[in-house]
């Protein structure tokens, strides 16, 4: 069973979480890879997110045999309250848990939360060389809305990025 909840800056900031944040493969397509993360910088970020008015950071947890495991994060935000739209972003930090359906389920759960918050549309961006991110959005009914040509550089090569959207 997979569920999402806000992170506790005291209890949820683990060495495992720190390892994910410093994992260049997990954050290959995110600006997080440019930073060195430690327990206190992560705690500070979680506190900031928990106090934020327009971003909702949630931990992705799986529950097996009564044991709850934090496996990644998903964020709704920034939220545009005027137009009732928001971006989402996500990662599964444990690489050995990729391709097991957790990313898809996490987005499914975040859609329910966004609906409860009266958000009418979600958007997400990904670079063309990230097929699993494309797939988890497609499996949740997101549609291609835009191409950002030559948006990102990876290993000295420029790539297009896509914006996908789902009207809720
Ligand atoms: C993107 C991410 C969250 C997906 O999570 P996940 O738990 O692996 O996702 P799922 O298992 O639910 O689905 C992955 C889908 O991508 C597919 N996929 C994975 N690698 C692929 C590849 N190289 N080519 C084509 N499809 C691929 C899987 O087959 C699966 O689709 P299917 O169910 O139709 O077979 C995870 O890979 C991740 O955390 N990546 C690093 C962070 C990241 O890129 N975040 C998004 C930034 S935009």
Question: 130, exposed or middle or buried, with CB in 10 Å at 0-12, 13-18, 19+?
Answer: middle
Q: What is the pLDDT of residue 99?
A: 98
Percent above pLDDT 90 for the chain: 96
> pLDDT band for position 31 (50/70/90)?
confident
| Ligand 1 atom at shortest distance from the alpha carbon of 127 | 48
pLDDT of amino acid 36: 94
Q: What is the pLDDT of residues 86-130, one digit of tens each?
A: 999 999 999 999 999 999 999 999 999 999 999 999 999 999 999
Ligand 1 close to Cβ of residue 162 (< 6 A): no
Superfamily grouping for domain 2-167: Gcn5-related N-acetyltransferase (GNAT) (3.40.630.30)
Question: With contact defined as beta carbons under 8 Å apart, do 134 and 160 qualify?
Answer: no
How far is residue 111's CA from residue 4's CA, in Å, rounded to a whole number?
11
Q: Where are the domains of the chain?
A: 2-167
Cα 92 to averaged position of ligand 1 atoms, centre (Å): 9
Summarised one tens digit per residue, pLDDT across range 51-82 is 999 999 999 999 999 999 999 999 999 999 99
The average confidence (pLDDT) of the chain is 97
Instruction: Give the global pTM.
Output: 0.97
User: What percentage of the chain carries pLDDT values higher than 70?
Assistant: 100
> Ligand 1 within 6 A of 59 CB?
no
């Amino acid at each position: 069973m997979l569920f999402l909840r806000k992170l506790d800056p005291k209890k949820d900031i683990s060495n495992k979480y720190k390892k994910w944040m410093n994992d260049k493969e997990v954050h290959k397509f995110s600006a997080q890879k440019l930073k060195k993360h430690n327990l206190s910088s992560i705690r500070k970020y979680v506190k900031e997110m928990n106090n934020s008015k327009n971003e909702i950071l949630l931990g992705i947890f799986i529950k097996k045999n009564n044991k709850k495991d934090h496996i990644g994060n998903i964020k709704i935000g920034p939220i545009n309250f005027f137009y009732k739209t928001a971006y989402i972003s996500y990662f599964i930090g444990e690489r050995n848990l990729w391709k097991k359906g957790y990313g898809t389920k996490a987005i499914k759960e975040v859609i329910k939360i966004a609906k409860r918050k009266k958000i009418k549309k979600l958007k997400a961006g990904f670079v063309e060389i990230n097929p699993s991110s494309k797939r988890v959005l497609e499996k949740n009914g997101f549609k291609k809305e835009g191409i950002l040509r030559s948006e990102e550089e990876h290993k000295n090569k420029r790539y297009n990025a896509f914006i996908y959207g789902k009207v809720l």
